[in-house]
């Protein structure tokens, strides 16, 4: 029997990026927007710069606030899943593979699995466009950084390469996207009745492992606004 995933550490990858990276990203946005009026001049030697200006405006107005809001939505999702499945784990205490699943526990397990499948689809649908914006922001920065070293005088000594931070955003976004796709697929299979909801199936879910993972995800996601320390983050927290 194929193993079903209840959760994945990868879905919280965006919120485990170090605080220093978010500070560097916010500083980059500040510098780009300060140079907005000179974008046409800078574009003579750094052609991708105007596109970066536009993307930084989107980042400041929509993408980062969206990431901040979604971090709290993810924390709530993980906390709710943790509570439901910790209760299911409690109800299954003492059962082994040869035991029948009590009807009341079966009903609870069915509701928990259906609820998780539904809420996971909602999270995936919210993350998909948000991750597209994050990847586009990282891509625009990487395009500029690819040629900026030899043109640093055009941008001033405050300009620092964001190559590592942009690569980190790309990598984390890919992990989050893949994690939600895998989870949604697995849970949709369960919701569609393609697995028998019995004791062997529920034991194979490794609920205790999933509960610990949800706990970690909820903690990291809930703490994210304090980590993303730019002006927009401060405004959202206020």
For residue 212, the 8-state DSSP code is H
pLDDT the model gives residue 155: 62
Residue 237: per-residue pLDDT? 42
CA distance 47 to 66: 28
Contacting residues for 210 by C-beta, under 8 A, at least 6 apart: 6, 7, 81, 85
Give me the pLDDT at residue 200, please.
Answer: 94
Q: What is the pLDDT of residue 192?
A: 86
pLDDT of 3 reads: 77
pTM for this entry: 0.89
Q: Left (φ > 0), alpha (ψ -120 to 50) or beta: where does 156 sit?
A: left
Q: What pLDDT was estimated at residue 162?
A: 86
Q: How far is CA 90 from CA 86, 137, 180, 207, in A?
A: 6, 44, 27, 10
- The answer to whether residues 126 and 177 touch, using CB atoms and an 8 Å cutoff, is no
Q: So what's the pLDDT on residue 45?
A: 85
Question: pLDDT at position 151, please?
Answer: 62
Q: Where are the domains of the chain?
A: 9-237
Block mean pLDDT (10 aa), the chain, length 238: 84 94 92 94 91 97 96 98 97 93 96 96 96 96 84 65 89 95 93 90 94 97 84 46
């Amino acid at each position: 029997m194929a193993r079903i995933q209840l959760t994945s550490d990868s879905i919280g990858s965006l919120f485990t990026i170090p605080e220093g990276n978010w500070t560097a990203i916010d500083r980059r946005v500040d510098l780009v927007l300060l140079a907005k009026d000179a974008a046409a001049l800078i574009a003579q030697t750094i052609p991708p710069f105007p596109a970066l200006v536009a993307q930084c405006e989107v980042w400041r107005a929509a993408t980062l606030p969206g990431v901040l809001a979604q971090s709290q939505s993810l924390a709530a999702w993980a906390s709710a899943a943790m509570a439901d499945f910790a209760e299911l784990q409690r109800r299954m205490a003492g059962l082994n593979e040869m035991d029948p699943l009590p009807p009341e526990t079966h009903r609870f397990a069915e509701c928990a699995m259906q609820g998780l499948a539904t809420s996971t689809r909602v999270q995936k649908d919210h993350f998909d466009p948000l991750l597209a914006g994050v990847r586009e922001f990282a891509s625009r920065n990487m395009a500029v950084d690819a040629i900026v070293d030899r043109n640093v005088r055009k941008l001033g000594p405050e300009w620092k390469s964001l190559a590592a931070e942009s690569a980190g955003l790309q990598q984390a976004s890919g992990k989050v996207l893949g994690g939600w796709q895998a989870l949604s697929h697995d849970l949709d299979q369960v919701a569609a009745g393609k697995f028998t909801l019995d004791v062997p199936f529920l034991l194979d879910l490794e609920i205790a492992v999933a509960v610990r993972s949800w706990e970690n995800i909820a903690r990291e996601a809930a703490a994210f606004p304090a980590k993303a320390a730019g002006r927009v983050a401060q405004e959202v927290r206020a």
